[in-house]
Structure 1
Amino acid sequence: MIVITADQRGSRSSEDLVPAALQQISIIGGDRLPFAPDRNAGDEIQVATEDGRTALEIILHLVRTEEWAVGVGVGGMEEERGTEIRAARGEAFIHARAAVERAKAAPSRFALVGAEPSAAEDAEALIRLLLELRSRRTGPGWEVFDHLAAGESQKDIAARLGISETAVSLRARAAGLRADEAAVPALARVLDRLNGVGRP
């Protein structure tokens, strides 16, 4: 199981972002979440999934907002108790707790802990590379990214933004969108392997 525990940064001096985050995570995860994401304690949220792509999409969403310290735990889960994530237990949840505490002090605000320490360290390092790439992306770069993610072509984006297709391509290149596009499915597979998907 892949468990994400995220702690809202500066929650004592800002509004409660948990409800909006839970709603967005539910949209991202859909039926790939065995439990509905929920408030864990205070200003924390917790979500679990068996799917590496889903976990990565949630991680990337939360880190992009710059409002969360995100910890990921990968490991076993005890037999399900009820239908709420609060009732679930197991090493994945323990690892997620350790990860979020470490994430609070990490420059990327992200950390990952797994049952196989060396494999977990590799996965964390690779995901942090993508987070570093994204942290350098400008507003115009994110604008192009969001339109492409919505299925628009570069021609459509150029018309929408009132710029040339060449300008759109330059923004995409400066934003590292090709590297991002290639990295996401690769990193999802890394998480799946760490989670034991496909192993005998």
Structure 2
Amino acid sequence: MFVLTVDQRKSRKREDLVEAAMDALNHDALRPLVLPFDRTAGDEMQAVAAEPAVVVSIAMELAVSSHWSVGIGIGSVKRPLPDNTRAGAGEAFERARSAVTSAKNASGNIAVSGASPQAGQAEALLQLLVLVARRRSELSEEAGILSDQGLTQQQIARQLGISQQAVSSRLQSGLWQESRRVLSVAESLLEGADR
């Protein structure tokens, strides 16, 4: 099982983003959670997930924004599960707490904690992916999002009013294809660490 513990960065200097983030994440039908995000302390929220793809998708979105430190804990959780995440307990919760503390000073503000060496390997890949994503230009980001939605380069070119060659260049400069492959490896490593 996976626990995500997420802490808002520079929360004393910014407005509280926790409620809006929880609302959006808890109502995302494409990323189902075992237990929804719940505020655990002032500027912190926590959720439980079973699927590595869901964990990676949420963690990447939050970490890339630069507004959050994201900790992913892998391990057992105490059963039966409580009605709300805040009341949860077990190894995954403890590891998520440790991970979010590490994430505050980690590359890309993301960290993973689990008993398997695969947790550390997944962490290294996720940190790299966050740093790549943060360095993308707006133009590359625009083309990459459309590509991730399943559009072909020709369709993206028509939608953006640019040449297919320009789309290809934007996707290459943003390392979109490479990032997708690395993301898949990170998900596999998380799955392995959860066994």
Gaps of 5+ in 2: none
In 2 relative to 1, CA 119–189 (structure 1 residues): closer, same or farther, beyond 3 Å? closer
Show the counterpart of 1:99: 99
Show the counterpart of 1:189: 188
Show the counterpart of 1:143: 142
Pairwise CA distance, 1:132: 2.5
Q: In the alignment, is the contact (CA less than 8 A) between 2:31 and 2:54 conserved in 1?
A: no
1:112-127 matches, within 5 Å, as: 112-116=112-116, 118-127=117-126
User: Is 2:74 the counterpart of 1:38?
Assistant: no
C-alpha distance in 1, partners of 2:123/2:194? 13
Q: Percent identity?
A: 35
Q: In the alignment, is the contact (CA less than 8 A) between 1:28 and 1:58 conserved in 2?
A: no
C-alpha distance in 1, partners of 2:81/2:71? 23
C-alpha distance in 2, partners of 1:23/1:153? 32
In terms of mean alpha carbon deviation, does 179-188 or 71-80 score higher?
179-188
**What residue identity is the alignment partner of 1:121?**
G
Gaps of 5+ in 1: none
In 2 relative to 1, CA 110–31 (structure 1 residues): closer, same or farther, beyond 3 Å? closer
C-alpha distance in 2, partners of 1:26/1:169? 35
User: Is 2:92 the counterpart of 1:82?
Assistant: no
Show the counterpart of 1:170: 169
SS of 2:56's equivalent in the other structure is helix
Pairwise CA distance, 1:181: 1.8
In 2 relative to 1, CA 65–119 (structure 1 residues): closer, same or farther, beyond 3 Å? same
C-alpha distance in 1, partners of 2:80/2:58? 22
**What residue identity is the alignment partner of 1:136?**
R
Show the counterpart of 1:133: 132
C-alpha distance in 1, partners of 2:26/2:113? 23
Show the counterpart of 1:51: 51
How high is the TM-score relative to the length of structure 2?
A: 0.93
C-alpha distance in 2, partners of 1:27/1:173? 33
**What residue identity is the alignment partner of 2:166?**
A
User: Is 2:73 the counterpart of 1:73?
Assistant: yes
Show the counterpart of 1:62: 62
User: Is 2:177 the counterpart of 1:161?
Assistant: no
Show the counterpart of 2:2: 2
How high is the TM-score relative to the length of structure 1?
A: 0.91
Q: In the alignment, is the contact (CA less than 8 A) between 1:113 and 1:120 conserved in 2?
A: yes
**What residue identity is the alignment partner of 1:85?**
T
In terms of mean alpha carbon deviation, does 135-144 or 147-156 score higher?
147-156
Pairwise CA distance, 1:82: 2.9
**What residue identity is the alignment partner of 1:159?**
R
C-alpha distance in 1, partners of 2:173/2:30? 32
